[in-house]
Amino acid sequence: MQKALPIKPLSSFGRIERSVQRLRTLFLVILVSIVILPPSFFFFRAARHQQEITVLLAGQLALKMTNHMSDPSAHKTFLPPMLQQEMTHGRLLFVQGLGKDGKVVFTLGKPIRQFLRLIGRSELDPPLPPIYSISIQRDAWQLYKEGIRIFGIHCIVASILALIMYQLPLKALNQAIREARATQAQIFHTDKLATVGRVYAGLTHEINNPLSIVLTRVRLLIEDVQEGPPPSKLLEDLETIERHANRIGAIVKGFLSFVRDAPLEMAKTDLNTALRDALSFVGKSFGTEGVQVKLELAESLPALLASQTHLEQLFVNLIGNAKDAMPDGGMLSIKTACAEGNLITEIQDTGTGIAPEFRSEIFQPLFTTKDVGRGTGLGLTVSYGIVKAHGGNIVVESEPGRGSIFRVTLPFEGAGA
């Protein structure tokens, strides 16, 4: 067998969804950038400027003190009024005079804990013992208010852009995605109906056998009752009728369950059961067509979180294709295994194989190599969609004249999703 080929995306549905998701992400990044980056740039640049002003004010205040307080006796009379005036004019929260060793000599005002602390310090030249330097703190509230104003403006701009983007391209793209999903669901159901057509003859045979037995027994019972007293084997005949009538009911119930257009409802599902049900649905005529089935199903597999109806449809498609690839009969091998948090299903046939030029196209919509009337070209497309909807992967190995292997990998419940 040649190296396994990963299946590429089959239609534009997935590409549209990924493109829209990328567009949404890009649009969100642009909006966040508009809201955060310019106000942040303004705030930190303004904060740096205000810090420089604070240091400059501290130097100016130190210069005033040295120019007007050369007389130490003026400390008590001139210093408080002058500092109070500077605090009001420069929006200072506090002023501290520091001694030679850095100890606080005096404090006017009260320091405030703010996110951004505008602190400035300057040495007195010459010093005025016991004051050698001063430290000031300016109120940053005006800077905060300006930052909030700029942030609000950019929020409004971003909101307007978001509204415009939603009303124009994103709204149209979302509508296109909804229509694409509806079309995809219709393709799934169309493939089911095509599968029903292919297995109709086998189902007719399965129903006709027990139905013929039921009708024959009923006819004999009617004749026996008309001729005389009820026969001694009446109970046995009625039990036979009941058994075969139940068999017909089970066949019809399974048929309707498969045909109905069921949504993708995830529940704990046994992989082996889904495989056996799919095989019983399409494998009725395998014996008469020379197809032998070999099952190698691993025991005690973990439960899948999956839609059983859709898994059955997946396996019906793959088993049906394997049978069609063996027109003169052959061996169909079905294996299951558990490895590295995944359940693996291999469906192998000994049929005609797939030509190299077709391997990259077999999962494309409407592509088929079958004769007219023997396939819609949707089965493998639908199979790929079901696998991806369950978070799994599908690969194919094939060589002309030596058959094919379709390997489906599905993550099981609790495998670290």
**Per mean pLDDT, which range of 235-244, 289-298, 385-394 is the poorest?**
235-244
Question: What is the distance between the alpha carbons of residues 66 and 59, in angstroms, rounded to a whole number?
Answer: 11
Question: What is the distance between the alpha carbons of residues 113 and 406, in angstroms, rounded to a whole number?
Answer: 68
Task: Output 335 or 32, whichever has higher pLDDT.
Answer: 335
Residues 288 and 386 reside in one and the same domain: yes
Contacts of 327 (CB under 8 A, 6+ apart): 351, 352
Confidence (pLDDT) at 55? 92
Q: How far out from the chain centre does Cα 183 lie?
A: 20
Task: Output 285 or 65, whichever has higher pLDDT.
Answer: 65
Residues 214 and 298 reside in one and the same domain: no
Contacts of 66 (CB under 8 A, 6+ apart): 124, 125, 126, 128
Look at residues 260, 283, 300 and tell me which one is the last residue of a structural domain: 260
Residues 306 and 416 reside in one and the same domain: yes
Task: Output 90 or 384, whichever has higher pLDDT.
Answer: 384
Residue 98, domain member (yes or no): yes
Look at residues 152, 182, 212 and tell me which one is the last residue of a structural domain: 182
Residues 329 and 416 reside in one and the same domain: yes
Residue 115, domain member (yes or no): yes
Residue 1, domain member (yes or no): no
Residues 170 and 281 reside in one and the same domain: no
Residues 318 and 249 reside in one and the same domain: no
- The top-scoring range by mean pLDDT among 180-189, 235-244, 280-289 is 280-289
**Per mean pLDDT, which range of 6-10, 99-103, 177-181, 376-380 is the poorest?**
6-10
Residue 221, domain member (yes or no): yes
Residue 145, domain member (yes or no): yes
Residue 192, domain member (yes or no): no
- The top-scoring range by mean pLDDT among 89-93, 231-235, 359-363, 371-375 is 89-93
Supply the CATH number for residue 417's domain.
Answer: 3.30.565.10
pLDDT (mean) for 27-35:
84
Give the residue ranges of DSSP H helices in 260-374.
Answer: 271-282, 308-324
Residues 272 and 392 reside in one and the same domain: yes
Q: E-assigned strands of 29-178?
A: 92-98, 104-109, 118-128, 131-138
pLDDT (mean) for 27-31:
83
Confidence (pLDDT) at 56? 92
Residue 348, domain member (yes or no): yes
Look at residues 242, 260, 278 and tell me which one is the last residue of a structural domain: 260
Question: What is the distance between the alpha carbons of residues 220 and 241, in angstroms, rounded to a whole number?
Answer: 12
- Could you report the per-residue pLDDT of 366-400, keeping only the tens digit for each? 444 444 344 434 457 777 778 888 888 888 888 88
> In the structure, what pLDDT confidence band is assigned to residue 252 with cuts at 50, 70 and 90?
low
Domain with 68, as residue range(s), is 11-182
- 370 by DSSP, 3-state: which? coil
Residues 112 and 236 reside in one and the same domain: no
Residues 238 and 289 reside in one and the same domain: no
Residues 288 and 414 reside in one and the same domain: yes
Residues 239 and 310 reside in one and the same domain: no
Confidence (pLDDT) at 344? 93
pLDDT (mean) for 291-303:
90
Contacts of 154 (CB under 8 A, 6+ apart): 34, 35, 38, 39
